[in-house]
């Protein structure tokens, strides 16, 4: 256990902060809190204990009567919520900054934006409707989470934290408060951040990780149901792979409780984690038999868990899962092909691509696909107006001519004006926000 002094904090930072002793200065404590908040410095931070503001940076904590029993309120940087236009401006500035950050990560990974395609589904498997601003925030958050998981797979924990905390910030820009409640991505992201702190042995950050784990538990309960009833219904009352997520959550709660000196809570979480892990165990004999049949260890374990150890049920489950994987891959290939195809139709006056479903409805009616796409593009995806245009012979002839010219002489993208001498360009190195891999939430988190 950490031998330094622990100080409970609340407000902008929640949990426990460690100092070498209460003879440390207020400035030293502020610097540590700024580090934990990810702030460049302690400017603007206020510490309050017993109704007194710790204003003298050179004074010792003991001089302010700070003890192990004290609880400090942290306020200042990021603690007061902005409102109205200021809040929206701050959110937009955050998104632009994160876009540049994501562009840096993507170039470092030698990835292209086309590798991140978003189809967000809730626990029932239904596609979720998003506003443009929320789609952008979620796309960016999931893309950054995906990049963080890639760094975790290579045991690059510090690099992973940079990406994961940026993902957390992006998801924090989602304005629809109900949107994230139907998916478990946020809960899993918070677990991943805490796991990286553990792997780095960063006890200081583990001391304030309790708040993140509490938020993770709340997010998972919202997505899965307080007693996992939603995922149980989704899986037909059978084994639910999300048990692995909760086993991981309980294990991390053990570590955090231990490092904050709460041994009773650590023991309680340890018992729960063991119970979760027991539920994940499968018999060795049927596991070996399935592997001898050519199934991977991960496939075999998952199938036995879902079938309750029944071999026939396990074989059926594996076959169904392989078919589902193939169907998902085919859907992804179809979606990727559409993202390329829509580029040749150009964008509407509002900067949107032609709506795929609307275009399909028009082609099902017998209209030429390229001509129908031009009608939708020129009319900002107004379906009824596009249909009326195509039904009118004269208007359809004009649209057909325009479509032909577009195919022969595609519209060239506008070139950005170069900044004048002595001025700095503010465009930055941006990455596309077309989406993020792995947005489906129906059963993620089970380990092999």
CATH number at residue 31: 3.10.20.90
User: What order of strands is seen across the sheet that includes strand 15-19?
Assistant: 15-19, 5-11, 71-75, 46-49, 52-53
d(CA 275, CA 171): 32
Query: Nearest 5°: CA angle at 82, between 77 and 86?
Result: 120
Same domain (yes/no): 108, 219 = yes
Same domain (yes/no): 210, 297 = no
d(CA 181, CA 232): 17
* Residue 32 belongs to some domain of the structure: yes
Give the pLDDT of residue 129: 65
Same domain (yes/no): 48, 183 = no
- 158-216 tens-digit pLDDT: 889 888 888 888 888 888 777 777 778 899 999 999 999 889 887 777 777 888 898 89
Mean pLDDT computed over every residue of the chain: 78
* Radius of gyration of the chain from its Cα atoms, rounded to whole angstroms: 27
Q: Which two tokens stand for residue 91?
A: 């959110």
Same domain (yes/no): 131, 274 = yes
Confidence of residue 133 (pLDDT cuts 50, 70, 90): confident
Same domain (yes/no): 128, 262 = yes
* Residue 325 belongs to some domain of the structure: no
Asked whether 362 and 387 are in contact (CB, 8 A), the reply is yes
Q: Which long-range contacts (CB under 8 A, 24 or more apart) does 294-301 make?
A: 296/448, 297/448, 298/448, 301/448
Q: What are the DSSP calls for 325-380, one per residue?
A: HHHHHHHHHHHHHHHHHHHHH-B-TTSPBPPHHHHHHHHHTT--HHHHHHHHHHTT
CA distances from 425 to 93, 99, 409, 416, 429 (A): 16, 16, 31, 11, 10
Same domain (yes/no): 188, 132 = yes
The better pLDDT of the pair 156, 179 is held by: 156
Does residue 294 sit in helix, strand or coil?
A: coil
Residue that is written with structure tokens 């409780």 in the block: 257
Give the pLDDT of residue 224: 84
Asked whether 280 and 305 are in contact (CB, 8 A), the reply is yes
Q: Is the whole-model pTM more than 0.85?
A: no
* Residue 191 belongs to some domain of the structure: yes
Tally of domains within the chain? 4
Asked whether 181 and 225 are in contact (CB, 8 A), the reply is no
Task: Write out the residue range of the structural domain in which residue 55 sits.
Answer: 5-75
């Amino acid at each position: 256990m950490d031998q330094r002094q622990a100080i409970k904090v609340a407000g902008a930072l929640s949990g426990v902060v460690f100092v070498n002793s209460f003879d440390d200065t207020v400035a030293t404590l502020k610097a540590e809190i700024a580090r934990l908040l990810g702030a460049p410095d302690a400017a603007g931070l206020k510490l309050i204990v017993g109704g007194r503001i710790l204003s003298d940076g050179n004074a010792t904590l003991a001089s302010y009567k700070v003890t192990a029993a004290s609880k400090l309120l942290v306020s200042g940087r990021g603690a007061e919520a902005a409102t109205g236009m200021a809040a929206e401006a701050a959110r937009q500035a955050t998104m632009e900054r994160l876009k540049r950050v994501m562009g840096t990560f993507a170039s470092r990974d030698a990835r292209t934006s086309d590798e991140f395609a978003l189809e967000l589904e809730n626990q029932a498997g239904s596609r979720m409707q998003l506003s443009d601003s929320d789609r952008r925030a979620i796309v960016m958050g999931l893309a950054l989470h995906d990049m963080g998981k890639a760094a975790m797979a290579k045991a690059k924990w510090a690099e992973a934290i940079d990406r994961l905390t940026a993902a957390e910030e992006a998801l924090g820009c989602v304005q629809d408060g109900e949107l994230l409640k139907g998916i478990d991505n946020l809960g899993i992201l918070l677990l991943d951040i805490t796991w990286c702190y553990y792997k780095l042995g960063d006890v200081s950050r583990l001391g304030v990780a309790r708040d993140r784990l509490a938020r993770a538990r709340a997010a998972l309960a919202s997505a899965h149901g307080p007693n996992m009833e939603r995922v149980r219904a989704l899986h037909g009352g059978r084994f639910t792979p999300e048990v692995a997520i909760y086993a991981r959550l309980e294990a991390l709660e053990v570590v955090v409780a231990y490092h904050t000196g709460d041994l009773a809570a650590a023991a309680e979480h340890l018992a729960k984690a063991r119970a979760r892990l027991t539920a994940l165990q499968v018999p060795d004999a049927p596991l070996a038999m399935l592997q001898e049949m050519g199934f991977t260890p991960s496939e075999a374990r998952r199938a036995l868990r879902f079938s309750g150890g029944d071999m026939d049920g396990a074989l059926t489950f594996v076959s169904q899962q392989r078919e589902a994987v193939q169907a998902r891959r085919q859907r992804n290939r179809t979606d990727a092909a559409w993202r390329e195809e829509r580029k040749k139709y150009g964008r509407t006056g509002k900067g949107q691509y032609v709506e795929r479903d609307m275009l399909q409805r028009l082609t099902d009616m017998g209209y030429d696909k390229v001509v129908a796409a031009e009608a939708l593009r020129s009319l900002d995806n107004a379906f009824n107006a596009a249909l009326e245009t195509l039904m009118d012979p004269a208007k359809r002839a004009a649209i057909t001519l325009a479509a032909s010219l577009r195919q022969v002489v595609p519209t060239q993208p506008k070139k950005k004006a170069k900044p004048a001498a002595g001025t700095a360009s503010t465009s930055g190195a941006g990455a596309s926000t077309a989406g993020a891999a792995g947005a489906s939430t129906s059963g993620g988190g089970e380990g092999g």
